[in-house]
Amino acid sequence: MKHPKRRKIGRNEQKPLRKGNKFHQQGKKQNAERADIRLNKFIADAGVCSRREADKLIAAGEITVNGKVETNMGTRVTREDLVKYKGEALKREKFVYILINKPKDYITTMNDDRDRKTVLDLIDGACKERVYPVGRLDRNTTGLLLMTNDGELTKRLTHPSHNVTKIYVAELDKQVAPEHLEELMKGFELEDGFSKFDSAEYDPKTRSKNTILVKIHSGKNRIVRRSFEHLGYDVKKLDRIQFATLKKGALTRGKWRFLNRKEVGYLKMTK
């Protein structure tokens, strides 16, 4: 006797959970779990800062909940509660993650008093949320730049302790000596501290000794350019082709795209 085929559950369809003789929809369970959250997460989700920094704001008495100063870091709140910081009501934002392939001559700031082009001009109209750059690229550097309103992730990706990987292709004014590649990886002192590349090699794509593939985790300002200048080279072009787990792929210069859920998940796994 043939048994009737079971109907397949669609990708976006919630699958009922069996408990005893009853079925409980996942959605109800999830809604119950999300009814309230810790105050520090609410603040982080509002784009103010990371959870750790939010704890400091709470402890300092800078957060009010429903008109009263709240200093208990274990406090939980719901969307109906009125949470304020510096007198302004906070609202949990929808997190947005945008990857840009930055062209030359765009600066990595929110606004510019000299009326120069900024990276915000590249994503004009992309979203209603207020996003900001994660780290920065100088005006003449091209390549990958992440924009988001996720304060906690921004903190994770920019804090030195997390050693986030950045990969660049640097085009120099002359051929780079092999011993200088070794020196870049051994490290040396610059005016603001020690500089050391994770790796430095001739770009396997071009096989040119003028073009170097550089891997670093330092977030110091203009560290790649300054390191080559220290050895007597002038960086003609600098292009970031990887940031953390994000790679350029088919994203062309001057274009942008939203990250998918999987990409965001990998970023949040950054240690």
Q: What percent of the chain has pLDDT over 70?
A: 87
Contacts of 46 (CB under 8 A, 6+ apart): 83, 85, 90, 91, 92, 93
What is the tens place of the pLDDT at every residue in 181-232?
999 999 999 999 999 999 999 999 998 999 999 999 998 999 999 999 999 9
Contact 215, 197 (CB under 8 A): yes
The fold for domain 37-89 equals: 3.10.290
CATH architecture of the domain 97-160+248-268 equals: 2-Layer Sandwich (3.30)
What's the confidence (pLDDT) of residue 15?
A: 44
Domain spans in the chain, listed from the N-terminal domain onward? 37-89, 97-160+248-268, 165-243
Three-class SS state of 183:
helix
CATH C-level class of 165-243: alpha beta
Could you give the CA distance from residue 168 to residue 191 in angstroms, rounded to a whole number?
Answer: 22
Could you give the CA distance from residue 140 to residue 203 in angstroms, rounded to a whole number?
Answer: 20
DSSP structure string for 9-22: PPTTSPPPEEETTE
Record the pTM.
0.73
Is the pLDDT confidence value at 20 over 90?
no
Token couple for 98: 């945008």
C-alpha to C-alpha distances, 212 to 174, 209, 219, 221, nearest whole angstrom: 11, 7, 19, 19
What's the confidence (pLDDT) of residue 13?
A: 42
HSE, side-chain direction, 13 A CA sphere, residue 175? 7
97-160+248-268: same fold as 37-89?
no
What is the tens place of the pLDDT at every residue in 40-67?
989 988 878 878 889 999 999 999 999 9
Higher-pLDDT residue of 15 and 248 is: 248
Active site residue 138: yes
Helix (H) or strand (E) holding 184: helix 178-186
Catalytic residue among 105, 112, 121, 138: 138
